[in-house]
Structure 1
Amino acid sequence: MALKLLSPLRVGKVDAANRVFMAPCTRLRADLDQTPTPIMAEYYAQRAGAGIIITEGVNPSPLGRGEHNQPAMYTDAHEVGWAPVTDAVHRAGGRIFAQLMHVGRITFPELLPGAANPVAPSAVRPDPGFRGYSIRCPRHDRPFPTPDALDSAGVAREIDHFVEATTRAIRAGFDGVEIHAAGGYLPMQFLSSATNLRTDSYGGSIENRSRFLMEVIEGAGERVGAERIAVKLSPGFYFNDVHDDDSTALYSYVCQRLSGIGLAFVEVSDYRGRHSEDGIDPIGLVRRNYDGVVVANGGFDQDSAEELLQSGAADAVSFGGSFIANPDLPKRFETGAPLNAPVRSTYYTSPTGHFEVGYTDYPALSATP
């Protein structure tokens, strides 16, 4: 039986050569001013065999930064810095989407302009004692401050930053963008009842709490076309102390709203059941309520991914650690070659201080004895 993982897939206006997508993976190899570095072009080009590469989280706003060396897309320098990355991927035959990630309250003043306080839908501080699933990369050993609640002008400003970052991304050569509405970051903070206590049109009902995300998508789609826009969701997971009173109702509504827009895809994380606090089936929920391409993410290997695709539960699968350690992952799946093991200690930094260690030095098959 032919592997469905290796079959082509039409995604918006992009023809993906296979259904082995590269998941967004924070790597922190940009300059301190958030401009991409030359080695990032090498890294992503090495992985151009993916059906679609989804980049690490790219900060769309001066107030959206969560880490040192996180790349961004809100200045001319950022836009220019990304062009060699997309060019390198395209020259290698690949397709690449930029994931736009605004961390909202999950940051510290020293990472923001003028040591500004973090912003969020409401002034709700992440629980210092939270022991659920956190995706801080790397994890911080101190509590986050209480964020400032965005006023109406601030909400409009951050939506505009997403839209402008989308425009810049397409100008920089990206095939599309993915709006990161998972991970406990700003769009998810608006979606979730525990972090959105607003009483205006962006808070209260599920419809109102979804408004921020929908206005980002609609604004971005008006600029570049909905077929260039993707969304990442994580129903039922408590990321960074962000959760909802009724995840099934919330995400059913969101996915129904996303249906019919003509998006490129929805990526949904399920983490193979390891962290599903709400006890729901995230992939099944999205598949039932969304009428487009579904990309599953979270702890899959080749066999479990192939089984999922053959069942019809998803159309593609995104791989994180496997793609970090195996730049030619689809070829390894095709040939049955063994996989390199990822070195987690180099995910976000290199012990030697050299960006290439644990980044561009994983061997491809041609370099493997």
Structure 2
Amino acid sequence: MPSLFDPITLGAIEAPNRILMAPLTRGRATGDSVPNALMAEYYTQRAGAGLIITEATGISRQGLGWPAAPGIWSEEQVEGWKQATVGVHEAGGRIILQLWHMGRLVHPDYLDGEQPVSASATTAPGHAYAPDGSKKDYAEARALDIGEIPGIIDDYRKAAANAMAAGFDGVQIHSANGYLIDQFLRENTNLRNDEYGGSPDNRTRLLDEVARAVAVEIGADRTAVRLSPNGETQGAFDSDPDTVFGLAAEKLSDIGIAFLELREPGPNGTFGQTEQPKVSPVIREKFDGPLVLNSDYGKAEAQADLDAGKADAIAFGRPFISNPDLVERFRRDIPLQGVAEDKGAWDYAPTWYMPGPKGYTDYPKAEESVAAE
């Protein structure tokens, strides 16, 4: 079986190792959602990953509701992202852009007071972060009219085209974590009675149509998808995930996407916990392409799942925050910094999401740590 350090083909991308950098929202863009030089430095520092999947990036103003998160719908945003793609490529890395529509998780403060949109008229639990960083209750979303759905699909298509114009190697369609596409997939957030609701075939329709539109635009071999099939996430839940997500995997396999990534927490997950069994064994049987797993992995657990044939690669999130040279640290068995038991960053400092380089680009590589001692 392959090791974490063996190369892997992910569609059109030849990755030099199987240690992928998972998407991580970091809140460093401008107030107009424009990526900047600091973000380029951050991603370039982590170019040793087999493949970088960027932080979630808004496909439209309607779909973005996180302070200082980046977008990809304007020319200024495209130009801003070019700094990151050039930096990563010059450092020998590969990078794809994650496409994001938050659906009901966008607070009206981002929308000039208008309601957010979703599969149905539902309200997410908990609180949103307003543009000024304050917490506010989520508002009830309005159900997308069926006539609006082609426009949403076209926003994904345009965002994918913009990503390629910015120099990315591909895109990942964010269909996980209770955001818009996930709101269509799950039974408790999709109460529709038209062709986008009800049966698993209908609830997977939006994902299928978005993935096909993006694949036509930039190539299926440069199109990836992220799902979070098991458990509740931001109020989204399905009692029969094997059926709906198994069908989703079949449809994505038919399209021939580059790879499918799954975020699957367990009962002791550090970001999300669930007793609902993992769906990856079902998806493994139904999806023909490379399967990437994510959630609370350390090096040993990751290699064990590759050895068992459960996955073809592993995506690491929080370990990459404080270890820009994570691949080399794994390769040389150098202890990780800012983590517990090699599983994930535990220094949940405000600097994770605050402007500036602190807690972002100021983590030293292993050689720099030794030199400073």
Q: TM-score range by the shorter chain?
A: over 0.9
Alpha-carbon separation, structure 2, partners of 1:247 and 1:366: 45
Write the deviation string for residues 8-53 of structure 1: whole angstroms up to 9, x where unpaired: 0011011100000000011000001000011000000000000000
Alpha-carbon separation, structure 1, partners of 2:157 and 2:134: 30
* Corresponding position of 1:233: 227
Question: What TM-score, normalized by structure 1, do the two folds share?
Answer: 0.93
* Corresponding position of 1:340: 337
Assess if the C-alpha contact under 8 Å between 2:10 and 2:259 holds in 1. Answer: yes
Give the 3-state SS of the residue equivalent to 2:59 in structure 1.
coil
Q: CA deviation at 1:273?
A: 3.9
Assess if the C-alpha contact under 8 Å between 2:81 and 2:166 holds in 1. Answer: yes
Give the counterpart of 1:284 among 277, 281, 285: 281
Partner amino acid, structure 2, of 1:330:
V
Q: Structure 1: where are the runs of 5+ without partners?
A: none
Give the 3-state SS of the residue equivalent to 1:6 in structure 2.
coil
- For residues 290-301 of structure 1, what are the structure 2 equivalents within 5 Å? 290-301=287-298
Alpha-carbon separation, structure 2, partners of 1:260 and 1:3: 26
* Corresponding position of 1:357: 358
Assess if the C-alpha contact under 8 Å between 1:272 and 1:300 holds in 2. Answer: no
* Corresponding position of 1:250: 244
Assess if the C-alpha contact under 8 Å between 2:2 and 2:306 holds in 1. Answer: no
Alpha-carbon separation, structure 1, partners of 2:185 and 2:333: 42
- For residues 1-369 of structure 1, what are the structure 2 equivalents within 5 Å? 4-112=3-111, 114-127=112-125, 141-274=135-268, 275=272, 277=274, 279-341=276-338, 342=345, 343-346=347-350, 348-350=352-354, 354-369=355-370
Q: CA deviation at 1:157?
A: 1.2
C-alpha RMSD of the superposition: 2.2
Question: What TM-score, normalized by structure 2, do the two folds share?
Answer: 0.92
Alpha-carbon separation, structure 2, partners of 1:70 and 1:178: 16
Q: CA deviation at 1:107?
A: 2.0
Partner amino acid, structure 2, of 1:237:
G
Q: In the superposition, relative to structure 1, how do residues 128 and 90 fare at CA in structure 2: closer, same or farther (>3 Å)?
A: closer
Write the deviation string for residues 102-135 of structure 1: whole angstroms up to 9, x where unpaired: 11001211112x2321111111112459xxxx99
Q: In the superposition, relative to structure 1, how do residues 347 and 222 fare at CA in structure 2: closer, same or farther (>3 Å)?
A: farther
Assess if the C-alpha contact under 8 Å between 1:42 and 1:85 holds in 2. Answer: yes
Alpha-carbon separation, structure 2, partners of 1:100 and 1:212: 14
Q: CA deviation at 1:347?
A: 5.2
Q: CA deviation at 1:250?
A: 0.6
Alpha-carbon separation, structure 2, partners of 1:135 and 1:23: 22
Identity of matched residues, %: 38
Q: CA deviation at 1:301?
A: 0.4
Write the deviation string for residues 271-299 of structure 1: whole angstroms up to 9, x where unpaired: 24435646222322221221110011000
Assess if the C-alpha contact under 8 Å between 2:265 and 2:274 holds in 1. Answer: no
Q: Structure 2: where are the runs of 5+ without partners?
A: 339-344
Assess if the C-alpha contact under 8 Å between 2:120 and 2:191 holds in 1. Answer: yes
Alpha-carbon separation, structure 2, partners of 1:239 and 1:163: 26
Alpha-carbon separation, structure 1, partners of 2:184 and 2:149: 10
Alpha-carbon separation, structure 2, partners of 1:174 and 1:28: 20
Aligned length: 360
Alpha-carbon separation, structure 1, partners of 2:266 and 2:86: 34
